[in-house]
Chains A and B, each alone.
Chain A
Amino acid sequence: MGVGVGEHAQRMIGRARSIRLPLAAPSWPSTVERPDPERRLGLEYDHEWSRRYPARLARAMVMDNIARPVARVLAPATVRGLEHLRHVEGPIIFAANHSSHVDTPLLLTNLPLEFRHHTVVAAASDYFFDRTWKSVLWSFSLAAIPFERRKVNRKSVDTLAGLIEDGWNLVIFPEGGRSPDGWTQPFSGVAAYLARRTGSPVVPVYLHGTRHVLPKTPDDEGRAPGGSGSESQRGGRLRRSPISVLFGAPLTPDEGENANRFSGRVEASVATLAREVHADWWQARRAVSTVDPVPGAGTAHRGPEAPAWRRAWALDRPPSSGRRTSWPE
């Protein structure tokens, strides 16, 4: 009689179990407390490898041969304001609004070649660097640098300043995270501080339409109490949608201008770019003019001070005159 399949399988399992150290990984004695694995994640993650030549070469190949063609199909972009970058002396701090995870790859793929492969991205250390695989993935694919977004952290600011001083351009989202409802959040002063410290100009960037390519879901940062909202039904899936990328004129801090005031100027510049999507440059510029401002225009991009439904209503309301006047879309 031959050996039955079940018996054979059992024997194989028995053999597999009998494989022990050193062929198998050692078991952990139950009487010994297992320490937390020593992981250098978050701000401690060592990302230096991602700026070495082999990683840069591989990243450039992926970005130019895969990411850019995909982006062109998925999110065909209208890019405006590239002329502002022609004569600016780098390195540059790109300060952009933020409403989707695709903001970073879409911005990078739409950067001119001379910036595209020499740019690092400040990424939330608590979100993009909380797992080893995420740290490796984002460091490699986006040249992401862990950044403490919730509080002032000297180390993360020093790291970014060091990289700028080493000649790297920086993409940073001064809002500190994606907009929860589509309206913008107040800018932190970090981009302005870095500009003051390093002497690099800040180029304001407005990304329009990325929220429709990959919306933010409530699950991303915990669902709001009692809410199930439309975003949860739409979110988490890539959708084809056109986008606009607008670059503003480079800004440098004025003599004696502190970081907070300069940050306000950067935010206002992004707001002006937002208006340009729906109007022309002159109208947008006029709306935030310091001489003859449109009432409320300076803070219109943050949305109305109203309950959530009204903010969402105002955001997604079809433009009555065919052109939207609020920011974002």
Chain B
Amino acid sequence: MSRRPGFVLEVDKSTPPTLFWNGEGFTLETLPEGSRVIYAPEPIKALDDPYGAIRHALLHPLGDRDPLPALLHAGMKLTICFDDISLPLPPMDAPDIRQMVIETVLDMAADAGVDDVMLIAALALHRRMTEDELRHALGDRVYDAFAPHGLLTQHDAEDPDNLIHLGQTESGEDIEINKRAATSDLLVYVNINLVAMDGGHKSVATGLASYRSLRHHHNPQTMQHSRSFMDAPASELHSSNWRMGRFIAEAGVKIFQIETTLNTDTFPSSFAFLQKREWEWNLRDRASFAATSTSLKGVPPRFARQIFHSITSPHAMTSVQAGEVEAVHAVTTENVWKQQGVDVQGQTDILTLGLPYICPYNVNSIMNPILVACLGLGYFFNLYRGKPLVRQGGVLILRHPTRPEFHPGHHPSYIDFYEQVLTQTVDPVAIHKQFEESFATDPWYIHLYRTGHAYHGVHPFYMWYWCAHALEHLGRVIIVGGDPKAVRRLGFSPASSLNDALEIASDVVGPSPTLTHLHAPPLMMADVH
């Protein structure tokens, strides 16, 4: 059967209840008649021969680039950078795409007699990956060949000895990136494009940058003018990254970009119901849903979290392209939209979302309230092109337990942000002005970032800035099922049920609002006309 495109369902009496993610669990909600539910397109068929496709891409580059073997020679300095633990979500079944691509690149480098090779995880201000995570992403063969010799490193945005300031863009943006990468004869960047926002110049200009450089685009003003992050031409975040990327190229950094796209086959067969349309659930799906949702309710959240974070995703590569950054990214973005795009006519008064247990910043970790806000308002709200799904002044209803729990090792500055900053104000602009610098330069946070597995001190600010566009756009945000105190701390309204939330929302959007539900997973992006 051919792949079915995404579509918009109008809810009527015959529509079965709709699945909502609810953190480490899920629930079925009955949406009011006349509501719309946006269903994602079905997964694209994976490439039959991924290694062959990778090799073909490296030998037939796009844009102004020679085939990779022609760029490799003995005596050169080669640096291979790759996306970190934040991609893909959930982590994919082995072999990871990064492993497949890097093994192929290394084969070519070995054939060319390249001795000076270094691998760098491009994690910007994210936490350092553990050995297990690196092994999963790169495979044991690569890890064991490079890590013991110190040739597999993780970008350190606070290491003055390994950063280089290349200059300023015409907009006055500092460009300070990883020195080893910038001074190599060739920088090969290995990307995974889960959503349209990823990749392009953002890979190097953000992934290998320092706080000094990142602050130019990771701020409330830029975020408010990125409409949306998924639509690069309309995203100020991308404009800034593109300015920087072009400056980096003009500064003589030779980048060979390798980008890959994934299908949306996100969960293993035991969770098949998560990806199916509810009216197509068979007996097995219903039994799986009943069994998992009932058993998850009976276990402590930390066990439920462990269960979910042990899931690896069967999603597979649908395309790979290599060469010059912009030429490559144009094809990549097109392929991402091909998988995830859904046409939607008109905006809605109320947008509902069920939020899952995972976002890019809590892989093998805890989804704290700040990340809940970022996932709902920063990521899901921005899954649009054209206009936001919800109208200006509309209401966003999220479903998530939103427990005030934090991972002290991964998110130490988040705890202080939650206790010290959000108690003062939730206004991103005010937060930026009053608090950012002290957190960003705090030596303790920097120490934890450089030596432990902590996100940088400024990271929770960035998460809050991701919400800036939605906060400015929305009339109210309601979280159903969330811890009331934590929800209020975020500046949102708690509700115990969807009906209560609709009642609360009616104060803002009137008694007969239109409602749209974004049915994820799998991921999709709405082309709103």
Q: Do A and B come from one complex?
A: yes
Segment 24-38 of A: residues with Cβ below 8 Å from B: 25-32, 38
Q: Kindly state the separation between the CA atoms of A184 and B283 in the bound complex, as whole angstroms.
A: 49
Contact among B11, B12, B16 for A26, CB-based, below 8 A? B16
Chain B residues with CB under 8 Å of A21's CB are 16-17, 28, 278, 281, 286
Q: Kindly state the separation between the CA atoms of A22 and B10 in the bound complex, as whole angstroms.
A: 21
Q: How far is the CB of B309 from chain A (nearest CB, A)?
A: 25
Q: Kindly state the separation between the CA atoms of A32 and B9 in the bound complex, as whole angstroms.
A: 8
Residue of B nearest to A26 (CB): B16
The yes or no answer to B429 lying at the interface (CB within 8 A) is no
A29 near B279: Cβ-Cβ < 8 Å: yes
B12 near A20: Cβ-Cβ < 8 Å: no
Contact of A22 with B28 at beta-carbon distance under 8 Å, contacts A29-B9, A31-B9, A31-B10 already known = yes
Chain B residues with CB under 8 Å of A22's CB are 28, 281, 285-287, 289-290
The yes or no answer to A66 lying at the interface (CB within 8 A) is no
Binary flags per residue of B270-304, CB closer than 8 Å to A gives 1, else 0: 00000000111101011101100000000000000
Q: Kindly state the separation between the CA atoms of A319 and B286 in the bound complex, as whole angstroms.
A: 67
The yes or no answer to A23 lying at the interface (CB within 8 A) is yes
B15 near A27: Cβ-Cβ < 8 Å: yes
Contact among B14, B281, B290 for A29, CB-based, below 8 A? B14
Chain A residues with CB under 8 Å of B17's CB are 20-21
Q: How far is the CB of A28 from chain B (nearest CB, A)?
A: 5
Q: Kindly state the separation between the CA atoms of A28 and B10 in the bound complex, as whole angstroms.
A: 12
Binary flags per residue of A202-228, CB closer than 8 Å to B gives 1, else 0: 000000000000000000000000000
The yes or no answer to B1 lying at the interface (CB within 8 A) is yes
Chain A residues with CB under 8 Å of B16's CB are 20-21, 26-27, 29
Q: How far is the CB of B392 from chain A (nearest CB, A)?
A: 28
Category for how many chain A residues contact B: 10 to 19
Q: Kindly state the separation between the CA atoms of A103 and B12 in the bound complex, as whole angstroms.
A: 53
Q: Kindly state the separation between the CA atoms of A78 and B10 in the bound complex, as whole angstroms.
A: 68
B12 near A30: Cβ-Cβ < 8 Å: yes
How many B residues have CB within 8 A of the partner chain? 21
Q: Kindly state the separation between the CA atoms of A38 and B14 in the bound complex, as whole angstroms.
A: 22
B12 near A38: Cβ-Cβ < 8 Å: no
Chain A residues with CB under 8 Å of B11's CB are 29
Q: How far is the CB of A33 from chain B (nearest CB, A)?
A: 11
Q: Kindly state the separation between the CA atoms of A29 and B281 in the bound complex, as whole angstroms.
A: 13
Residue of B nearest to A35 (CB): B1
Chain A residues with CB under 8 Å of B287's CB are 22
A30 near B14: Cβ-Cβ < 8 Å: yes
A26 near B278: Cβ-Cβ < 8 Å: yes
Q: How far is the CB of A40 from chain B (nearest CB, A)?
A: 12
- Greatest chain B CB density within 10 A among A22, A25, A27, A28 is at A22
Q: Kindly state the separation between the CA atoms of A31 and B1 in the bound complex, as whole angstroms.
A: 21
Q: Kindly state the separation between the CA atoms of A236 and B197 in the bound complex, as whole angstroms.
A: 69
Chain A residues with CB under 8 Å of B279's CB are 26-29, 32
A27 near B14: Cβ-Cβ < 8 Å: yes
Q: Kindly state the separation between the CA atoms of A38 and B4 in the bound complex, as whole angstroms.
A: 15
Q: Kindly state the separation between the CA atoms of A26 and B281 in the bound complex, as whole angstroms.
A: 7
Binary flags per residue of A146-162, CB closer than 8 Å to B gives 1, else 0: 00000000000000000
Q: How far is the CB of B169 from chain A (nearest CB, A)?
A: 50
Q: How far is the CB of A175 from chain B (nearest CB, A)?
A: 37
Q: Kindly state the separation between the CA atoms of A20 and B289 in the bound complex, as whole angstroms.
A: 13
Q: Kindly state the separation between the CA atoms of A32 and B37 in the bound complex, as whole angstroms.
A: 12
B12 near A29: Cβ-Cβ < 8 Å: yes
Q: Kindly state the separation between the CA atoms of A38 and B1 in the bound complex, as whole angstroms.
A: 9
Segment 1-39 of A: residues with Cβ below 8 Å from B: 20-23, 25-32, 38
A25 near B286: Cβ-Cβ < 8 Å: yes
Chain B residues with CB under 8 Å of A23's CB are 286, 290
Residue of A nearest to B39 (CB): A32
Residue of B nearest to A29 (CB): B15
Binary flags per residue of A79-120, CB closer than 8 Å to B gives 1, else 0: 000000000000000000000000000000000000000000
Q: Kindly state the separation between the CA atoms of A226 and B116 in the bound complex, as whole angstroms.
A: 92
Q: Kindly state the separation between the CA atoms of A55 and B28 in the bound complex, as whole angstroms.
A: 41
Residue of B nearest to A31 (CB): B10
Chain A residues with CB under 8 Å of B10's CB are 29, 31
Residue of A nearest to B277 (CB): A32
Binary flags per residue of B461-479, CB closer than 8 Å to A gives 1, else 0: 0000000000000000000
Segment 323-354 of B: residues with Cβ below 8 Å from A: none
Q: How far is the CB of B454 from chain A (nearest CB, A)?
A: 41
Q: Kindly state the separation between the CA atoms of A26 and B9 in the bound complex, as whole angstroms.
A: 15
Contact of A31 with B12 at beta-carbon distance under 8 Å, contacts A22-B28, A22-B289 already known = yes
5 tightest Cβ-Cβ pairs between the two chains A and B: A26-B16, A22-B286, A29-B15, A26-B279, A30-B14
Cross-chain pairs A/B with CB under 8 angstroms, 26 sampled:
A20-B16, A20-B28, A21-B17, A21-B278, A22-B28, A22-B281, A22-B285, A22-B286, A22-B287, A22-B289, A22-B290, A23-B290, A25-B281, A26-B16, A26-B280, A27-B14, A27-B16, A29-B9, A29-B10, A29-B11, A29-B16, A29-B279, A30-B12, A30-B13, A30-B14, A32-B279
